[in-house]
Amino acid sequence: MDNVALFVDVQNIYYTTRQIHKCNFDYNQFWRLATEGRNVVKAVAYAIERGDTKQREFQNILRGIGFEVKLKPFIQRADGSAKGDWDVGITIDAMEYADLADTIVFATGDGDFDILASKLVDKGKEVEVYGVQELTSVSLIKAASKYVPVQGDLLLR
C-alpha cells in the first residue's frame, strides 16, 4: 500500500475556491480522493488563528476528518496589510515527511511551492497538486507528477 502525506494551504484553498467557484472546498471529498487505497503517514492543514468561534468549529471539523491543524496568528500591520504565511512551515514539514511517504499531496495553487514539488519529484516521490485551475500557478502544475483541478465533487455547493 502506498504511503501518502497531505499538506493543505487552507488560506489559499479557501480564497481561490471562493473567488472562482463562489462556494467552499469539500475537505471530506478531498480526503477520500487523496487517501483512497493509501496509508496516511501525515496530514496537516495550515491555517490562520483569528480567534473566532466559526473558525474554531471549522478547525475541529478538519481534525475530525483526520488532519492535524497547525495555526499561526493573524498579524495586522500598522499600514493595514496582513501577514499569515505558512510557506516555510509547509516546506519544512513536506521535506521532513518525504522519507516516509511515496506520494506527497498539496492542496494549494501557490507557485512558491514549485521548487519544493520539483525537488520531491527529483527524490523519486509522486507529487499531486489540488488547486483551483484559474488561480493555480502554471509552474506548480508543471512541477507536479499529477494535477487535480478543484471543481465538481471537490466543491461544496
Closest CA to 33 of 131, 154, 142: 154
Is the pTM higher than 0.85? The answer reads: yes
Q: Check whether 83 has a pLDDT greater than 80.
A: no
Q: What is the pLDDT of residue 63?
A: 98
CA distances from 39 to 30, 42, 59, 130 (A): 15, 9, 23, 19
Q: Check whether 80 has a pLDDT greater than 60.
A: no
pLDDT interval class at 77 (50, 70, 90): low
Query: Tens of pLDDT along 19-50?
Result: 999 999 999 999 999 999 999 999 999 999 88
Query: Tens of pLDDT along 104-120?
Result: 999 999 999 999 999 99
Q: What is the pLDDT of residue 68?
A: 98
Neighbour tally for 156: CB within 10 Å? 13
Residues 140, 118: Cα–Cα separation, whole Å: 9
**Whether 149 contacts 131, CB under 8 Å:** yes
pLDDT interval class at 78 (50, 70, 90): low
Q: Domains of the chain (ranges plus CATH)?
A: 2-156 (3.40.50.1010)
Closest CA to 7 of 93, 111, 73: 93
Q: Burial-class residue 16 by CB neighbours within 10 Å (0-12, 13-18, 19+).
A: buried
Instruction: Work out the percent of the chain whose per-residue pLDDT is above 90.
Output: 86
